[in-house]
C-alpha cells in the first residue's frame, strides 16, 4: 500500500483509503434505510457503482422480499432496542440478482451535531463459511435421516415379529394342553416362557422406538385412578400369589377418583415397576404406596412408590440401570432375563411429565422406586359417572339415534352389537364423507367418530359436521387407538365432545354414552336365552352379520380365535389360584366374545364356577369337575372356531 514518493517520503494511507479498501464491506444508512455512504469493497462485491447506491437506494433493498420482512420484523427492532446487532446471516442481492452470503454487524452511530440517528453496517463475505456450513448441515440432516430410518425399521420389524410370535404363543398354549409326558411338558413350558419374554422384549423395543422418534406425547384425559389401580393390583396379585410373596397396597383414604392426565403412561410406569419388584423378589413383599403431597381445589400432587424386599441394587449401579439396554449386571440379565429397557422407558415417560424416578436401595435388602406427578382434578366427573361405571349393566340409556363412523367393518359391527344390546338405534358410515352426508340427511343425537380414516379423517369430518346448518348439533365422541399427538387440543378445535380410547370395554363406551345421553336406573339386563346346544358354538350370529362377506367372516373369526386362546391362558392361571375376583373380571371381559360365537355352555360353566368360588361353597371334587369341564369346553370352542375358519379359507 505504501510507496516511496519522489521526495523520499513514504505515503501513509488515509483513513478514507482504509475505509474504501477494507477487507469487509461498510455501509451507513439513515433510520429509514436510505444509504448515505458505502465503501469500495462492498460496491465491488455487489457490482454497483457509487452513484447507483448513494442517496438512491435503501438498505432494505439489498435483500430479497423474505429478507426485507425479516429486516422489518426482527433486525431493525433489535437495533433500535439494543443499539447493535451482531452476526446476522443475510443473503445480499447483487446487482445481477445473484446472492452473496454475508454476516452483518450493525451499530447505531450518534453524531454530536445531529439529533438524527444513523447506522453503520459492517459486512463480512462468508461464501466459504457458508459452503462449509451447508456441508455440515447436509451431513447432520443425513445422519438424522439415517437414525430416523433405523427407528422406522426397528418399529416395522418389531410389528412384523409380533404377529408370528402371537401365533407361537397361541399354538404353544394349545400344545401345552395336549397329553404330554413330563419332559415334553417342561419343554413346552420353556417354549411358552421364552415366547412371552420375547414378546415383552419386542413390545419394549416398539415403545422405545416410539419415544426416540418423539411420537409419544402426553395426553390430558379424564380417567379414574382407582379403576386403574384396581386392574393393576388384581393383575399383580396373581403374580405375587404364584411366587408366594405378599402384595401390600397403601392408598390414601382421600384419594380423589377422577383425575385429568395420561392414564396410559402412569399404567405403563407402574406396571414396569411392579413387574420388576416381583421379578427380583424371592420372599417378603412388594409394596405399592401412594401418598398425597399436595391437594388443592383443582390440582393434586401425588407420590407413587414401589418397594420390595428383593435383591436390591448396588449404589454405583443407580444411574446405569436407567440407561438403555443395561441392567445392574450381566449376571442379572442371565439370571432374570429382560431387556433392560423397562426403566429407561419409565424414566422417559416421567420426563415427559417433568418428573423423575427416585431410587433408594441396598444390595440384598430391597429397593424403593418412587416418582411424583401432578394431575388436575376432573371436576366435571360427578358421582353420577361413578354410579354408571359401577353398575352399568343395570342401567338403561335414554333412547337415542346414533351414527357409528369407522372404516373398519369389524369395528362397526362390534359397536353396533353393543348399541343394539342397549336398545339404541344406529346407522353406520364407513368414512368421514359419508358421515357428514348422513348427519346432513337426518338428525342424530350422537356420533361415534373414528379419528383415523383414509381421505377425510375424524377431525375433518367433525369440523364439517359443526359447519352444517343443523337445528340441533349432535354430540360427537371420538374413538381412537393411537394416543399420539396433541389429541385434546385437536379434539377441542374440531369441537368434539368426548373421547374413548380403543380398544374399549362395553362399560367404557356405556359410561361415555350415559354422560351425554343420560341413563335411567332401570332393571334393564341384557338377557339371552340359553338354548341347549349340541355343539359348543354357533356361528349364525357372525354369518348374519357378514351378509355373505367371507373376508369379514375370516377377520371376525380370526380375532375371536385369538381372543379365546388368550382367555384360555388366563382361565388356567385362575383355576390354579382359584381367585374369584379374577374370574369375575375374566367373565366380564369375555362376555362379548361368548355372545358372538354363542358359546353358552362355556358361559354357563364359568358362571357356576364363579358362584362356587365366590361363596366358597363347593367341595373340592365339584370344583375340580368344573375346572375340567371348563378346560374341555374351551378346547372345543377353540377347535370349532378353528375348524370353521379353515372351512371358509379359499
Partner 1 sequence: MSSPNLSDLTKRNNIRLLGSGTQPIVFAHGFGCDQNMWRFVYPAFEEEYKIVLFDHVGAGNSDEKAYSRAKYSSLEGYAKDILEICDALNLHNIILVGHSVSSMIAVLAANLEPSRFAHLILIGPSPRYINDNGYVGGFGREDIEDLLESLESNYLGWSATMAPVIMGRPDEPKYGEELTNSFCRTNPEIASHFAEVTFMSDNREDLEKLETPCLILQCSQDVLAPPEVGEYMKQRVSHNVFHQLKATGHCPNLSAPEETVAAIKEYLQNAE
Q: Which residues bind partner 1 (CB under 8 A)?
A: 31-33, 60, 64-70, 72-78, 80-82, 85-91, 103, 132-133, 136, 140, 298, 376, 379, 485-486, 488-490, 492-493
Shorter beta-carbon distance to partner 1: residue 217 or 554: 217
Shorter beta-carbon distance to partner 1: residue 201 or 260: 260
Q: Minimum Å distance from CB 446 to partner 1?
A: 20
* Secondary element (H or E) of residue 367: strand 366-377
* Secondary element (H or E) of residue 38: strand 35-38
3-state secondary structure of 275: helix
Distance between CA 53 and CA 56 in Å, rounded?
A: 5
Shorter beta-carbon distance to partner 1: residue 121 or 343: 121
Q: Minimum Å distance from CB 350 to partner 1?
A: 15
Report how far apart, in Å, the C-alpha atoms of 156 and of each of 210, 216, 217 are: 11, 16, 20
Is the Cβ–Cβ distance between 395 and 519 less than 8 Å?
A: yes
Q: Minimum Å distance from CB 34 to partner 1?
A: 9
Distance between CA 294 and CA 298 in Å, rounded?
A: 11
3-state SS record for 143-195: HHHHHHHHHHHHHHHHHHHHHHHHHHHHHHHHHHHCCCCHHHHHHHHHHHHHH
Residue 445 corresponds to which cell in the numbers above? 343425537
Shorter beta-carbon distance to partner 1: residue 268 or 488: 488
3-state secondary structure of 499: strand
- H-state helical runs in 353-503: 383-390, 409-421, 432-441, 458-466, 487-493
Nearest to 94 by CA among 36, 34, 53, 39: 53
Q: Minimum Å distance from CB 380 to partner 1?
A: 8
Using omega within 30 degrees of 0 as the cis cutoff, is the peptide bond preceding 503 cis? yes
Shorter beta-carbon distance to partner 1: residue 140 or 390: 140
Shorter beta-carbon distance to partner 1: residue 247 or 350: 350
Distance between CA 538 and CA 373 in Å, rounded?
A: 49
- Cβ atoms within 10 Å of 53's Cβ, excluding its own: 22
Shorter beta-carbon distance to partner 1: residue 355 or 488: 488
Nearest to 123 by CA among 95, 98, 103: 103
Q: Minimum Å distance from CB 118 to partner 1?
A: 13
Q: Minimum Å distance from CB 73 to partner 1?
A: 3
Backbone angles phi, psi at 310, to 5 degrees: -95, -150
Q: Minimum Å distance from CB 479 to partner 1?
A: 19
Distance between CA 643 and CA 646 in Å, rounded?
A: 5
Backbone angles phi, psi at 36, to 5 degrees: -115, -5
In angstroms, how far is CA 26 from the centroid of its own chain? Answer: 54
The HSE-up count of residue 404 (CA atoms within 13 Å, CB side) is 22
Shorter beta-carbon distance to partner 1: residue 87 or 646: 87
Q: Minimum Å distance from CB 459 to partner 1?
A: 10
Shorter beta-carbon distance to partner 1: residue 34 or 237: 34
Q: Minimum Å distance from CB 379 to partner 1?
A: 7
Shorter beta-carbon distance to partner 1: residue 76 or 426: 76
Q: Minimum Å distance from CB 496 to partner 1?
A: 12
Shorter beta-carbon distance to partner 1: residue 376 or 394: 376
Q: Minimum Å distance from CB 111 to partner 1?
A: 18
Distance between CA 210 and CA 433 in Å, rounded?
A: 31
Amino acid at each position: 500500500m505504501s510507496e516511496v514518493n519522489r521526495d523520499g517520503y513514504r505515503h501513509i494511507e488515509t483513513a478514507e483509503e482504509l475505509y474504501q479498501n477494507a477487507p469487509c464491506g461498510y455501509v451507513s444508512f439513515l433510520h429509514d434505510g436510505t444509504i448515505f455512504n458505502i465503501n469500495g469493497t462492498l460496491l465491488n462485491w455487489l457490482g454497483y457503482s457509487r452513484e447507483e447506491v448513494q442517496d438512491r437506494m435503501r438498505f432494505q433493498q439489498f435483500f430479497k422480499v423474505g429478507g426485507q420482512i425479516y429486516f422489518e420484523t426482527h433486525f431493525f427492532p433489535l437495533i433500535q432496542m439494543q443499539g447493535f446487532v451482531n452476526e446476522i446471516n443475510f443473503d445480499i442481492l447483487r446487482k445481477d440478482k445473484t446472492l452473496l452470503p454475508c454476516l452483518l454487524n450493525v451499530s447505531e452511530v450518534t453524531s454530536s451535531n445531529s439529533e438524527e440517528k444513523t447506522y453503520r453496517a459492517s459486512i463480512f463475505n462468508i461464501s466459504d463459511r457458508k459452503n462449509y456450513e451447508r456441508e455440515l448441515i447436509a451431513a447432520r440432516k443425513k445422519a438424522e435421516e439415517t437414525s430416523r430410518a433405523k427407528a422406522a425399521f426397528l418399529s416395522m420389524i418389531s410389528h412384523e415379529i409380533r404377529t408370528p410370535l402371537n401365533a407361537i404363543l397361541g399354538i404353544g398354549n394349545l400344545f401345552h394342553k395336549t397329553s404330554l409326558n413330563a419332559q415334553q411338558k417342561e419343554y413346552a413350558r420353556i417354549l411358552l416362557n421364552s415366547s412371552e419374554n420375547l414378546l415383552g422384549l419386542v413390545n419394549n423395543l416398539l415403545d422405545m422406538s416410539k419415544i426416540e422418534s418423539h411420537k409419544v406425547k402426553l395426553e390430558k384425559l379424564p380417567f379414574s385412578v382407582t379403576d386403574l389401580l384396581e386392574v393393576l393390583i388384581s393383575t399383580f396379585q396373581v403374580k405375587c400369589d404364584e411366587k408366594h410373596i405378599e402384595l401390600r397396597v397403601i392408598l390414601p383414604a382421600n384419594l380423589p377418583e377422577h383425575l385429568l392426565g395420561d392414564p396410559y403412561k402412569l399404567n405403563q410406569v407402574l406396571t414396569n415397576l411392579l413387574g420388576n419388584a416381583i421379578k427380583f423378589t424371592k420372599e417378603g413383599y412388594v409394596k405399592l404406596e401412594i401418598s398425597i403431597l399436595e391437594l388443592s381445589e383443582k390440582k393434586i400432587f401425588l407420590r407413587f412408590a414401589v418397594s420390595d424386599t428383593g435383591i436390591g441394587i448396588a449404589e454405583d449401579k443407580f444411574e446405569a440401570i436407567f440407561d438403555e439396554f443395561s441392567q445392574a449386571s450381566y449376571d442379572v440379565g442371565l439370571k432374570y432375563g429382560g431387556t433392560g429397557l423397562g426403566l429407561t422407558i419409565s424414566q422417559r415417560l416421567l420426563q415427559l411429565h417433568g418428573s423423575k424416578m427416585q431410587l433408594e436401595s441396598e444390595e440384598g435388602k430391597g429397593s424403593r422406586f418412587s416418582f411424583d406427578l401432578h394431575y388436575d382434578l376432573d371436576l366435571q366427573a360427578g358421582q353420577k359417572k361413578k354410579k354408571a361405571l359401577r353398575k352399568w349393566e343395570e342401567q338403561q340409556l335414554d333412547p337415542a339415534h346414533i351414527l357409528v363412523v369407522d372404516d373398519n367393518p369389524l369395528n362397526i359391527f362390534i359397536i353396533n352389537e353393543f348399541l343394539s344390546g342397549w336398545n339404541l338405534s344406529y346407522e353406520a358410515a364407513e368414512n368421514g364423507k359419508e358421515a357428514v352426508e348422513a348427519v346432513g340427511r337426518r338428525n342424530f343425537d350422537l356420533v361415534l367418530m373414528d379419528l383415523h380414516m383414509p381421505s377425510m379423517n375424524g377431525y375433518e369430518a367433525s369440523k364439517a359436521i359443526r359447519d352444517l346448518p343443523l337445528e340441533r348439533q349432535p354430540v360427537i365422541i371420538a374413538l381412537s387407538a393411537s394416543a399420539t399427538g396433541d389429541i385434546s387440543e385437536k379434539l377441542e378445535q374440531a369441537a368434539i365432545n368426548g373421547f374413548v380410547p380403543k380398544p374399549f370395554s362395553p362399560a367404557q363406551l356405556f359410561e361415555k354414552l350415559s354422560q351425554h345421553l343420560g341413563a335411567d336406573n332401570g332393571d334393564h339386563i341384557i338377557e339371552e336365552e340359553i338354548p341347549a346346544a349340541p355343539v359348543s358354538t354357533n356361528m349364525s350370529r357372525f354369518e348374519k352379520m357378514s351378509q355373505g362377506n367371507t373376508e369379514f367372516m375370516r377377520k371376525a373369526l380370526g380375532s375371536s380365535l385369538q381372543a379365546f386362546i388368550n382367555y384360555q391362558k388366563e382361565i388356567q392361571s385362575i383355576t390354579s389360584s382359584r381367585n374369584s375376583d379374577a374370574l369375575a373380571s375374566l367373565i366380564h371381559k369375555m362376555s362379548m366374545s361368548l355372545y358372538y360365537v354363542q358359546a353358552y355352555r362355556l358361559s354357563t360353566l364359568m358362571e357356576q364356577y364363579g358362584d362356587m368360588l365366590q361363596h366358597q361353597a363347593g367341595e373340592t371334587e365339584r370344583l375340580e369337575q368344573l375346572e375340567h369341564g371348563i378346560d374341555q369346553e374351551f378346547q372345543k370352542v377353540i377347535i370349532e372356531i378353528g375348524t370353521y375358519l379353515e372351512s371358509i379359507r379359499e
